[in-house]
Amino acid sequence: MKKWLYTSLAVLFVSMLFMNIKTEAAQDKTAIRTLVEETYLLSSDYVTPITSLPPKAIVILHNVEAGWAHIEYKGQQGYVPSTTLKSAQSTLMLASAKNPPIVRETTAAQAKHLGTLYIDSIVHAYTTNEENWYFVQYGNLTGYVIATALKAPTSQKMLVQRQDGLVVRNIASKFGENLTVIPANTKVDVYTNFQGWAYIVADQHVEGYVLAHGLKAVPVPKPGKYSQGIATKTKRIALTFDDGPHPTVTKQILATLKKYDAKATFFVTGHRVNKSPKVLKEVYEAGHEIGNHTWNHPKLTQIEVKQVNAQINDTNKIVKSIIGEEPTLFRPPYGAYNKEILSSLSVPLVMWSVDTLDWQHRTPSKTLKAVQNGSYNGSIILMHDIHQTTADALDGVLSYLSKQGYEFVTVSELIAQ
């Protein structure tokens, strides 16, 4: 014990020589950390022990200054060397007990009750060094919950349908902290839906509670052939881009689509996904739809069935490894397919109704002219996101179609109505 105290004093002395070090505040209001080694919780003099802390104990970090972390552990506050802490990893868990689970200050039988969890609410749960207990976080409520009161949730894909987006809050209440706003047509994973609130994860950086009525199911069209678009009463149109992703052209196209708040469908090839996985992820996270365009663009009617399956399956696998799900549509290269190919697909085969021939003429004005002459309610427009001239034409295309009153939707949204 004495040896440890001497070491602590030495650390303090060295820290005082560098008091110009800026205070590191916890990034979130309730920053959860775990202890990497056994240590002591010290009082404000950095010397007097308050209690012994075991390794893997979960603590609340308030701030860090000059090498010392101000923490809270089971209702007690004090200081430990900041080097003894690391970020704790949480798991989303569902409150599933018959009665609202009690959140306790400690795991003792007579521990102070800090609050309760709503049944079917989602919490961040941290594994503790105490068997049968989780340390949980629900908004600013933190504490211990018996493990049997929680279970792993399942998720469902949904879309934000409110045109002005949805406010994400830290708790299921209109009085909860406003974390961010997610825009319309963003695809999210929904982990629970209770009392009018849904817990969503939009990507690895955005999660929380939103009003459930602001969400809608992801359109899932039936397998089959869709070639000439869909006759729609409203002015809806589907923009599609083949052969990407391209490391620069696709990014420029994404920026232009964002400018016009337009959603599109990208029919990707596996070999290009393999070269530009981050670009594919950007496309997906921007709310666009991903379709399969085979691995390296062969004419499917000229190769063996085994090769056809490999072209499709290998592309499905690499896409799923990057975005977590397989492509929802299929488009055959050169538009070449037969009954065997069509019958083997588990997703719709999508052709087009407006061919801009952008790959052939490489002229922005001709791409725009093709769109002006061929577009109608429910049409599917074919372009390619591997040509710079297509990216250059897109602003004019979107400007024209916007002035005509068209809404830009994904192919699945178009054909599932």
The CA-atom distances, in angstroms, between 10 and each of 37, 38, 222 are 19, 19, 70
Q: Which helix (H) or strand (E) holds 4?
A: helix 2-16
384 catalytic? Reply is yes
DSSP secondary structure of 359-377: HHH--HHHHHHHHHHH--T
CA–CA distance, 170 with 207 (Å, rounded to integer): 8
The CA-atom distances, in angstroms, between 232 and each of 85, 181, 237, 368, 378 are 58, 30, 9, 22, 5
- SS3 assignment, position 306: helix
Closest CA to 265 of 415, 412, 414, 410: 410
CA–CA distance, 411 with 219 (Å, rounded to integer): 9
242 catalytic? Reply is yes
Give the number of other Cβ atoms within 10 Å of residue 237's Cβ.
24
Which residues on adjacent β-strands are paired with residue 64?
24, 69
The CA dihedral of 208, 212, 213, 215, to the nearest 10 degrees, is: 70
The CA-atom distances, in angstroms, between 38 and each of 33, 35, 86, 144, 339 are 14, 7, 13, 20, 67
The CA-atom distances, in angstroms, between 411 and each of 147, 185, 270, 290, 376 are 44, 13, 20, 10, 15
- SS3 assignment, position 413: helix
Q: Is the dihedral of CA 250, 390, 347, 410 positive or negative?
A: positive
Query: Catalytic one among 70, 124, 242, 385?
Result: 242
Whether the upstream peptide bond of residue 364 has omega within 30° of 0, thus cis, is: no
Query: Catalytic one among 70, 246, 384, 387?
Result: 384
Active-site positions? Answer: 242, 384
